Structure formats: C-alpha cells, structure tokens
Amino acid sequence: MPSQIEKLKVLLAGIFSLILMLGVARFAYTPMLPILQAQVGLSDALGGWLATFNYMGYMSGALIAASISDLQLKDRLYRLGLIVAIVTTAGMAITDNVIVWSIMRFFAGLSSAAGLLIGSGLILNWLMRNNFRSELGIHFSGIGLGIAFCAVVVELMAVSFNWRELWWLFTALGVLLAIPAWAWLPKPNTSGMTVSGAELVDKPPSKRFLYLMLSAYFCAGYGYVISATFIVAIVDRQESLQGIGPMVFLILGLAAAPACIFWDHVARRVGVLMALLLAYVIQIFGILLPAVSESATAVILSAILFGGTFVGIVSLVLTMAGRFYPTKPAKLMGKMTLTYGVAQIIAPAITGNLAERLGNYDLGLWIAAAVVLIGAIISAVLIATERDAV
C-alpha cells in the first residue's frame, strides 16, 4: 500500500492542477474583468459572452469526460489539459481581439473540465484502489486556493502591470504549477482490484435519483456562475466599494479552500443529501446579500457564504458520483457537470445583458437565488424519498 507521503503527493498534484486549470485558466478572468473593461473597453455584455464561451468549452469537456472509460486515455487528456491551460492564458495576452479571446476562453474551459472532472476522477480512483478514504475535500481545496491565488496576483501586480503583462505573468506562474501537477500524479492502474485484492464494483443509482440530482445540480451551476463571474464587477460598480473587488474575490477563495474538508465532515455526520441541502440554503443568502445591501460588510459576508458553499456542493456531488461508479468515476461526473455546464452557459449571458440594460446586477442575483432555491427544494425531495440511495 502506498505511503502517506505518496498520498500527499497525489493530492498535491490534484491541488496544483486545479489552481492551474480552474484558477489560472478559469478564475483569473474574474478579477481581470474590471481591468479589461477599464483598459480595453470590454462591455458588460461582451464580458458575459466571454464567460459563456468559457463554459461552452467546459461543457464540451464534460461531454468528453462522460463518454470515455479508458483510464489511460483520461490520463493523457489530463496532461493535455495542463498544456492547454498555459497556452490559452498566453493567448489572452497576445491580442485584444474579442474573437481570439472567445476561442481562448473556449479552450480554457476544456482544460478546466480536464482538471475538475478527469483529474478528480483519476485521483478518486487512485484513492479507492489504494484503500484510502474516498473523499475529495482536500483535493477540491485547490479550487478555493486557485481563486485566492488569482486574486492575490491581480491585487499585488495590477498597480505595476497592465492587462497584457498580467496575462503573461499568469502564463509564467501556470508553467510552474504544471510541473508538480504533471510529475506527482501516477499513471493509472487499469485493473479492477484494490491493492488489498478487493474488487471495485459499480453501484448505479436509480434513474429517478439521477434525474433529480441532475436537476438540483443544474440549479447549483446557475447560482455558482453568477457570483463566480461577476462578483468583482458587482463590487467595483458600487462607488463606496470601488477598489476592494479583488480583496472580496480573495476572501471568497480563502473561504472556499477549507470548505470542501468542512463539508466532508458535515456529510459524515448528517449524510450527503442533508449536507447538500444545508449548502444550498446558505448559498442563497450569500448570493442575495450584494443585491440587498451595498455595505462592505454585506459584500464580504456574501463572499464568505458563497465561497464556503459552492465548492462544497461540487465536492459532495462529484465524490458521490465517483462512489456510484468507482471503476469509471469521471463518466457520471461528466454527466453531472453537463447539467452544471448548461446553467453556466445560460446564466452569464443573461446576467451580463441584464446588467447592461439596467445598470446593475441586482435582478441577475435575484434570479440566481431563486434558481438555487429550486435546487434546495429538489434536495429536500431527495432526502424524503431517496435517502437510502447514497
């Protein structure tokens, strides 16, 4: 059985991969958005559409993850995703052409799927084969750390660097992150047995459970993408809060980093479905606070509540999917993420256009909160009728 040091290296490979493929390739865009708007003249609507192209790429990646079972192919795609994350970040620095940016954001979305779905599936498969606890909380802390990392880079360097130089800086940092993410994840074991000789057996959920969970996860995706994409722009648009957007994004990331581990513990005590319901309810308050108050306290609390729940929901759902299918965890992870991705394609475009017409993001936040409320109701139905399925 591998040592704890080997386990730590595998988990660190996952964390670094998420900091690169979700942090740099995806979340750097959020604190960069106000800078691009100020220095390049990017409009709210185009800002929303660029986010939508990113999620289209992400959903395409989820389709790929859901369609393949070959672990060796997944390993190759994971490593290709590391390279694509670096190349697409560099592509954002080369030009200010919106068409090229759209292409870069699309392929950055593909790399994000490679990190979140294929990489997570490979790591969960490794943990289960080697008789470690089948939880991804530590691994998914890389999402929050990626958010915090990008916020810190922009906050510290935006004074000295222009938008183009910031993208080049992210590219260089991405190369450094890719080294341990590549080297410390072992090639996958393709046998159907654990190291102790136990057989890995898939235990599919009922169709009803799957449909309800897919619907609830769609709602989570809608709520997630609004705050994740627009939180810095929302803050910087308020006169009394101008300039603290990157700090709020940093707080969001710092809240998200330990949240997955926290929600793992909650799930052990009350069950996965009840933990999900609690996370949905808390997230609703986190989404709505900037719409009902312009105070710094409300915005910071919103970042804490949102950051502390969205990664927890992702971690709980994808870990649950992996437990249903230990031999091919990324397949159901991919299907779950397709529904999450559909919401992420729809929501930024709607919200960006509403913000351009109305001059603020309030209506977009209320719509997002209402969708997450529907997700909470579906979770409650699952608890009442399908608790034994998990």
**193 is a domain residue:** no
End-to-end CA distance of the chain: 27
User: What is the number of structural domains in the chain?
Assistant: 1
CA distances to 11, 279, 345, 374 from 222, rounded to whole Å, are 28, 14, 9, 11
Residue 123 to residue 186: CA distance in whole angstroms: 9
**97 is a domain residue:** yes
Residue 92 to residue 3: CA distance in whole angstroms: 41
pLDDT per residue of the chain (390 residues) written in tens, 0 to 9: 677 888 889 999 999 999 999 999 988 998 898 899 999 998 888 888 898 898 889 888 888 887 887 888 999 999 999 999 999 999 999 999 999 999 999 999 999 989 988 998 888 888 888 877 766 778 888 988 898 899 889 989 988 999 999 999 999 999 999 999 999 999 887 666 666 666 667 778 888 998 999 999 999 988 887 777 777 777 777 767 777 777 887 888 888 888 888 998 999 899 989 999 999 999 999 989 888 887 888 888 988 998 899 888 988 988 888 778 777 766 777 788 778 777 877 877 787 788 778 777 778 889 989 999 999 999 999 998 876 666
Query: For the chain, what is the largest distance between any 2 Cα atoms, rounded to a whole number of angstroms?
Result: 63
**190 is a domain residue:** no
CATH number at residue 16: 1.20.1250.20
Cα–chain-centroid distance for residue 298? 23
Residue 243 to residue 169: CA distance in whole angstroms: 21
Question: According to the model, what pLDDT value does residue 293 have?
Answer: 83
**374 is a domain residue:** yes
What is the gyration radius of the CA atoms in the chain, in angstroms? 20
> Which residues face 193 on adjacent strands?
199
The region, left, alpha or beta by phi > 0 then psi within -120 to 50, assigned to residue 131 is left
Report pTM. 0.81
> Residue 379 corresponds to which tokens in the numbers above?
């979770």
Structural domain for 238, as ranges: 4-184+201-389
**189 is a domain residue:** no
Question: According to the model, what pLDDT value does residue 224 have?
Answer: 81
**191 is a domain residue:** no
**196 is a domain residue:** no
**221 is a domain residue:** yes
Question: According to the model, what pLDDT value does residue 322 have?
Answer: 78
